[in-house]
Amino acid sequence: MTKSIADLVSENEKLAKDVLAPAADEVDRTRRFPRQNLLEFGRRGLLGLLVPVEFGGAGGTIADMAHVLQTMGSACASTAMVTLMHYCGTAVIAAKASAVLRQDLLPAIARGEHLTTLAFSEAGSGGHFYMPVSEVKRNGQGGRLTARKTFVTSAGEADSYVVSTRKAGPTAPTELDLYLVAKGSKGFEVGKPFEGLGLAANASAPMTLDDVELEEQKQLGVEGSGFQTMMEVVLPHFQVGVAAVSLGIAAAAFQAATSHVTARKYEHAGGASLSTIPRVQFLAAEMALELRSARAYLAETVRRAVAADPEAMLDILGVKAKAAEAALAITSRAMTLGGGAAYGRRGGLERIFRDAQAASVMAPSTDVLKEFLGKACLGVPLF
């Protein structure tokens, strides 16, 4: 029986508290892919959140995804990021896969038996993940692809990869194709994992496709429509999702810092806690304002996206940048309030601070997004 969204949200909150949070420091320290976490979430139906009801999923919206990812992000950002990329891949499969491929994969995703992800960024295009330099070579029966993908989340761990490439013989840089490539395909190879500052357990690594066969029945959308799918399906889910994870991280920092200054007492000051110091109160207020305003912007972005508001794209472009900056500001202040206790690994603040750094440089970076948003505001073409 398919669980309701309310049931899944409740399950997510319980699992985040009982499973994710207790293991988060060890997962980070060992850089171990959070397979056990994903198995638990899969068994409870959370990996099938965006799968349509007719395929056994919850039929959730981007709003439900944002809610779930904020809670996950507060407990274990690495697990949240892996889940987000899975949701992005699932959204593309649900929207653009053939009827046969949807029937083959979506029920398995709903049951938590199939993990997917995106493989967009390439060594030759850097942070501009929407502009791959690889190109399909047509052979009459689908095609073949040689590409060097980079920063692939869940590389070697996911069961399938939504891969982007230029269509054969493109006449414009936005004429892209998307294909689903299975783990273990001939010519599929995963490189040495990146050892990033934060999100240490999300198995981010380069991936090489060496003359890999692209099956015609695994093309996602019609030829040349990949860029449109990126803008209409991937971008909203990715931008909102990263923002949600960032605000989950920020909320965890706020909670840890305020708990610390309330509990920490000085005997030489008559047992007064740090929370009585005006400067501490000022920093706590700044953190609260940053968090509340960023949450409100995320909620408004989600509302516009669900309502298909014509203005939604402006907010979709801006929300990741806003949340990333809020997370940086909040975690930095949390480190100040935590003092020596925050600098050490005990208590999780140091890990949370490192995890918060990723969103601002993750493609499209904050700087690129502000460029896009500025162009959109001024009526200048984005590309």
Residue 351 placed within a domain: yes
Domain residue limits at 270 = 227-378
User: Do 15 and 59 sit in the same domain of this protein?
Assistant: yes
Residues 146, 165 contacting (CB under 8 angstroms): no
Residues 146, 134 contacting (CB under 8 angstroms): yes
User: Do 238 and 167 sit in the same domain of this protein?
Assistant: no
User: Do 171 and 311 sit in the same domain of this protein?
Assistant: no
User: Do 99 and 204 sit in the same domain of this protein?
Assistant: no
The model's pTM is 0.96
**Total domains, the chain:** 3
Which residues have C-beta within 8 Å of that of residue 107, sequence separation ≥ 6? 51, 55, 56
pLDDT value for 263: 93
Strand partners, 273: 265
How many H-runs (helices) and E-runs (strands) does the chain carry? 13, 9
Tokens of 19: 């499973």
The residue among 85, 115, 145 that closes a domain is 115
Tell me the pLDDT of the chain (383 aa) as tens digits.
678 999 999 999 999 999 999 999 999 999 999 999 999 999 999 999 999 999 999 999 999 999 999 999 999 999 999 999 999 999 999 999 999 999 999 999 999 999 999 999 998 887 788 899 999 998 877 799 999 999 999 999 999 999 999 999 999 989 999 999 999 999 999 999 999 999 999 999 999 999 999 999 999 999 999 999 999 999 999 999 999 999 999 999 999 999 999 998 887 767 789 999 999 999 999 999 999 999 999 999 999 999 999 989 999 999 999 999 999 999 999 999 999 888 887 768 999 999 999 999 999 999 999 999 999 999 999 88
- Tokens 């014509």 — which residue? 310
CATH number assigned to the domain comprising residue 248: 1.20.140.10
Residue 383 placed within a domain: no
User: Do 373 and 237 sit in the same domain of this protein?
Assistant: yes
User: Do 156 and 97 sit in the same domain of this protein?
Assistant: no
Residue 49 placed within a domain: yes
Residues 147, 163 contacting (CB under 8 angstroms): yes
User: Do 167 and 233 sit in the same domain of this protein?
Assistant: no
The residue among 115, 138, 164 that closes a domain is 115
User: Do 127 and 108 sit in the same domain of this protein?
Assistant: no
Residue 321 placed within a domain: yes
User: Do 27 and 65 sit in the same domain of this protein?
Assistant: yes
Residue 67 placed within a domain: yes
3-state secondary structure 105-147: HHHHHHCCCCCEEEECCECCCCCCCCCCCCECEECCCCEEEEE
pLDDT value for 268: 72
User: Do 209 and 240 sit in the same domain of this protein?
Assistant: no
The residue among 224, 241, 266 that closes a domain is 224
Strands (E) in the chain, as ranges, are: 116-119, 137-138, 143-152, 160-166, 176-182, 188-190, 205-214, 265-266, 272-273
Residue 332 placed within a domain: yes
User: Do 331 and 374 sit in the same domain of this protein?
Assistant: yes
pLDDT value for 326: 98
User: Do 341 and 233 sit in the same domain of this protein?
Assistant: yes
Residues 174, 336 contacting (CB under 8 angstroms): no
Q: What is the largest CA-CA distance in the chain?
A: 82
Residues 227, 174 contacting (CB under 8 angstroms): yes
Residues 334, 349 contacting (CB under 8 angstroms): yes
pLDDT value for 269: 63
